[in-house]
């Protein structure tokens, strides 16, 4: 059942991480490096999927395309603000420029959690240059920050 409260969504995603997002997996789609499933619910953005890396590490990912840079910046700042409010003070924000483009990334991690429970929430603001214009996409990830990420940097 779709949820509307952002904090309830984050809590559901955090709990789902510990169960490999099983309750969010719907249709399996092929992948060369990883297994992918279309997500049952679009908890953030659009086109949400669950990825499995090596069969053991899973992440949940969504993307939202913005009509312009200003809107994308607003999405990014709102995602950071809501995530911080919902997760609380024990979660640390690390924000930096992305390595391979002019975008930004914000990663929330609870460093006090046991290593086996180290889930992170991140949002990435990504510019995509086209022939006639640049579009901006916001990605939202939930998973272990030490796992490989398809578009993370």
Residue 55 lies inside a defined structural domain of this protein:
yes
Residue 153 lies inside a defined structural domain of this protein:
no
In tens digits, the chain (153 residues) has pLDDT values of 456 788 988 998 999 998 889 998 988 887 667 788 999 888 777 789 998 876 678 899 999 988 888 999 999 999 999 999 999 888 999 999 998 888 899 999 988 877 767 889 999 999 987 766 778 999 999 997 654 444 444
Residue 57 lies inside a defined structural domain of this protein:
yes
Residue 148 lies inside a defined structural domain of this protein:
no
DSSP letter for each residue of the chain: -----HHHHHHHHHHHHTTTTGGGEEEEE--SSEEEEEESS-SSSEEEEEEEETTTEEEEEEEEEESSHHHHHHHHHHHHHHHHHHH-TTSEEEEEE-SSSS-EEEEEE-TTS-GGG--EEEEEEEEEE-SS-EEEEEEEEEE-TTS--SS--
Q: How many domains does the chain have?
A: 1
Give pLDDT, residue 2: 56
Give pLDDT, residue 148: 41
Residue 16 lies inside a defined structural domain of this protein:
yes
Give pLDDT, residue 153: 46
Residue 151 lies inside a defined structural domain of this protein:
no
Residue 1 lies inside a defined structural domain of this protein:
no
Residue 21 lies inside a defined structural domain of this protein:
yes
Domain ranges, residue 66: 6-143
């Amino acid at each position: 059942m779709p949820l509307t409260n952002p904090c309830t969504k984050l809590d559901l995603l955090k709990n789902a991480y510990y169960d490999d997002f099983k309750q969010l997996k719907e249709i399996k789609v092929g992948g060369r490096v990883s297994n992918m499933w279309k997500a049952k619910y679009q908890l953030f953005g659009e086109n949400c999927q669950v990825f499995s890396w090596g069969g053991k590490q899973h992440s949940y990912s969504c993307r939202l395309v913005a009509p312009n840079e200003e809107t994308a910046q607003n999405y990014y700042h709102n995602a950071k603000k809501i995530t911080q409010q919902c997760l609380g003070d024990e979660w640390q924000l690390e924000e930096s420029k992305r390595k391979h483009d002019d975008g930004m990334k914000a990663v929330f991690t609870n460093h006090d959690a046991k290593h086996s429970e180290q889930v992170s929430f991140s949002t990435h603001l990504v510019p995509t240059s086209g022939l006639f214009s640049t579009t901006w996409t916001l990605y939202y990830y939930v998973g272990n920050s030490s796992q490989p990420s398809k578009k993370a940097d």
